[in-house]
Amino acid sequence: MNADQNELAEFLKARRSELAPSDVGLPEGATHRRVAGLRRDEVAQLAAISIDYYTRLEQGRIRPSAPVLASLARVMQLSDDQRTYIYELAGTNVAGTKSRRRAPQKVKPYVQRVLDHITDTPAMVMTPTHDILAWNPLAAALMIDFGEVPERERNFLRLIFTDPRMRALYPDWEGLARAVVAYVRMEAARKPDDPRLAELVGDLSIRDPHFRQWWAGTHVALKRRGTRIYNHPVVGEIALDWDALTSDAEPDQQIIIYTAEPGSPSEQALRDLAAWAAETFDASGSGVAPARRGSTSGQSRR
Q: Where in the chain is the domain with CATH 1.10.260.40?
A: 3-90
For the 3-90 domain, the top CATH level (class) is mainly alpha
pLDDT in 10s for each residue of the chain, 302 residues:
577 788 899 999 999 888 888 888 777 665 566 667 888 888 888 888 889 999 999 888 888 888 888 889 888 899 888 988 998 888 875 433 344 445 668 888 888 999 999 999 999 999 999 999 999 999 999 999 999 999 989 999 999 999 999 999 999 999 999 999 999 999 888 877 777 888 888 889 888 999 988 988 878 998 889 999 999 999 999 999 999 998 877 888 999 999 999 999 999 999 999 998 888 755 443 333 344 334 334 333 33
Q: Which of 198, 172, 170, 11 is nearest to 90 (CA)?
A: 11
Residues 224 and 245: their CA atoms lie apart, in Å, by 8
Q: Where in the chain is the domain with CATH 3.30.450.180?
A: 109-284
Neighbouring CB atoms inside 10 A of 116's CB total: 16
Neighbouring CB atoms inside 10 A of 138's CB total: 21
For the 109-284 domain, the top CATH level (class) is alpha beta
DSSP H helices, 36-172, are 40-47, 51-58, 66-75, 80-90, 109-116, 137-142, 156-162, 164-169
Burial class, 115, CB count within 10 angstroms (exposed 0-12 / middle 13-18 / buried 19+)? buried
Identify the three-state secondary structure at position 206. helix
In this prediction the pTM is: 0.72
